[in-house]
Chain A
Amino acid sequence: MDRDFLLAGLMLAVPTVVLLMLPVYNRADPPLFGLPFFYWFQGVWLFIAAGFYLVAARILVRRLGE
């Protein structure tokens, strides 16, 4: 498989795969601003995901000449 597509696919898949690993973040400690870990971990991943997706978008737009 093409390296660009592989990398873009990974960038898109990683955030979802991480959030599918529920036992990793289904815990209360350590809390942040009074929020249990279960909550703030999910919130933080929204930002990480946007970063990953932008990289994926850039790769795909260049590769496919969109």
Chain B
Amino acid sequence: MDSATIVFVVLFAIFAALGFGASKWRKGDMRELGEWALAGRKLGIYLAWFLVGADLYTAYTFIAIPEAVYLHGSVYMFAVPYVMATFAVAMIVMTSLWKISKEKNYVTAVDFVKDKFNSKTLAILIAITGIVAELPYIALQIVGMQAVLIVMLQPYFTTASAITSVSEFALIVSFVILAAFTFWSGLRGAVLTAVMKDIIILVSVVVIVIAVPLAIKGGFATAFSKAAAAGAISKVSYATLAPVLGPAFLSLFVLSALALYLYPHSINGVLGSKSAKSVRYSTAMLPLYGFGLFLLALFGILIFAEPNALAIIASQKNPALVVPALIYTTMPGWFAGFAFLGIFIGGLVPAAIMAISQANLLTRNIIKEFKKDMTPQQEARIAKWASVIFKFLALGFVFVIPASYAIQLQLLGGILIVQTLPPIFMGLYVKWLDKNALIAGWFVGILSGLYFIFTIPLNVSLHTLVTSLMSTPLGLLYVAAVSLSLNVVVVFVWSAIARMTKQKAQPATA
């Protein structure tokens, strides 16, 4: 074994011991769902900040964005303004949601929707959206974990036929670890390991974003000129944004910013906070975490100046390997092992948190609606098994969608989850929304989104495989922008009509 593998295995053993041992932490009763899923709402400012901030360093940041920048160029730098803007949204909306959840003892955003609009149908639709939208996001985490293992294992397999076995073996290992981790430890495990995970991740991020560019001859300047040369052939723009992609860049940025805090796992993290003040301050500082994302995105450019890393991607036929391959070829073995562990658990822990949020929604907001007399133990048992089943479904996405589509997994989830914006975000501030209008808007948003996704021709632009974008009179736009607009129009028009008819009806009944 080389030193990278040894360091990785040893650190992972420590991490796993912490994660599995977490079930004994603070002596909650692990059989009860609330305990398993929310870590008992005792998270102080810094622990909550760790949890939410570290959520940013998932496979999205380490794998999907660098890959997308490498393949499709500057348009995927939208991730930088996206993370910046999303925390402004969160500071307003999440504090409101935190306050009302504290007052009325809500655990999920669906609890809020159900109570506010007094509609079981609407609540269940929102719960289903949350569960389904998390699936491709979890799949992305599995792709990320797999990418690390492929790069680590590829030196041990030299024949061409062994390459597929590396990748399949890596996938199975990633999945089994994820399933076991979630099943035994719940959010409590994720929270306790988050401190270790954050330290490992932040150290890896800081070291690799400084050391890798320095290790590459000529640094960024050379990388950009080599990228430009490659881009001239593949018709991808790297240094600046091709004007045709302007609307795509802006719509991806804005819609992703609106979507992030609608995901059940983001909401879960915020609701665990102790006070409104801590929500505001910790959110305000979160854009600082975005600087690591910014530098990691640049690895998609840096790789053009490192032929050995490009060779690994070519031999494995997997562009998701950008960051791990760069680390492997430029860093000493022991440090590569350390950073690989950071990326690996950077997929593992968020995937566990996402699966727990899904399980929470299923038991609390769907099954309980039909079966009111469940005991807390029954509820927790269903949630645990549900989280395992959801992970199998997520695994299905990994098989269906090729590795070069990693970013599309997240964008697909975004199109779905953003349709819950009217009842959740607008519901917090607008008093006259009608529940039937929200249901109709949801159907219009979801169905139009799916329709656009499935009817987009694959070669829609200069860039192949940009499947989440569609042609509109305004230019290329992220599908979510169009379908959310339709949703919001339906909600407002219908609610306005419902309100007028109600006002007319009232004097008559008086």
Using C-beta atoms within 8 Å of the partner chain, give the interface range for chain B: 35 or more
User: What 1/0 mask marks residues of chain B from 231 to 267 whose CB sits below 8 Å from any chain A CB?
Assistant: 0000000011101001001100110010000000000
Task: Tell me whether A36 and B284 are in contact in the complex, defined as CB-CB below 8 angstroms, given that A16-B85, A43-B291 are known contacts.
Answer: no
Contact of A16 with B84 in the complex, beta carbons under 8 Å = yes
State how many angstroms separate the Cβ of A5 from the closest Cβ of chain B. 10
Contact of A26 with B246 in the complex, beta carbons under 8 Å = yes
**Could you tell me how many residues of chain A have their Cβ less than 8 Å away from some Cβ of chain B?**
33
- Residues in A9-66 with C-beta less than 8 Å from chain B: 12-13, 15-16, 19-20, 22-23, 26-28, 31, 33-36, 38-39, 42-43, 45-47, 49-50, 53-54, 56-57, 60-61, 64, 66
User: Inside 8 A of B286's CB, which chain A residues have their CB?
Assistant: 50
Task: Tell me whether A22 and B241 are in contact in the complex, defined as CB-CB below 8 angstroms, given that A42-B294, A43-B291, A46-B287 are known contacts.
Answer: yes
- A-side residues, CB < 8 A to B, are 12-13, 15-16, 19-20, 22-23, 26-28, 31, 33-36, 38-39, 42-43, 45-47, 49-50, 53-54, 56-57, 60-61, 64, 66
User: Inside 8 A of A19's CB, which chain B residues have their CB?
Assistant: 81, 84-85, 253
* B77 at the binding interface (Cβ < 8 Å): yes
Contact of A42 with B80 in the complex, beta carbons under 8 Å = yes
Main SS class of interface, A: helix
Alpha-carbon gap, A43 to B294, bound state (A): 6
User: Inside 8 A of B218's CB, which chain A residues have their CB?
Assistant: 34
Query: Within the complex, which residue of A16, A33, A50 is in contact with B220, where a contact is CB–CB below 8 Å?
Result: A33
Task: Tell me whether A49 and B84 are in contact in the complex, defined as CB-CB below 8 angstroms, given that A26-B240, A26-B246, A42-B294 are known contacts.
Answer: yes
Stretch at the interface among B109-117, B273-281, B358-366, B403-411: B273-281
Other A-B contacts than A36-B224, A61-B277, 20 sampled, CB-CB below 8 A, are A19-B81, A19-B84, A19-B253, A20-B253, A22-B250, A26-B240, A34-B218, A35-B298, A38-B74, A38-B241, A42-B80, A42-B294, A46-B294, A50-B286, A50-B288, A53-B283, A53-B287, A57-B91, A61-B281, A66-B95
State how many angstroms separate the Cβ of A6 from the closest Cβ of chain B. 14
State how many angstroms separate the Cβ of B249 from the closest Cβ of chain A. 7
State how many angstroms separate the Cβ of B176 from the closest Cβ of chain A. 37
User: Inside 8 A of B224's CB, which chain A residues have their CB?
Assistant: 34-36
Contact of A15 with B88 in the complex, beta carbons under 8 Å = yes
Alpha-carbon gap, A64 to B275, bound state (A): 13
Contact of A54 with B281 in the complex, beta carbons under 8 Å = yes
State how many angstroms separate the Cβ of B211 from the closest Cβ of chain A. 15
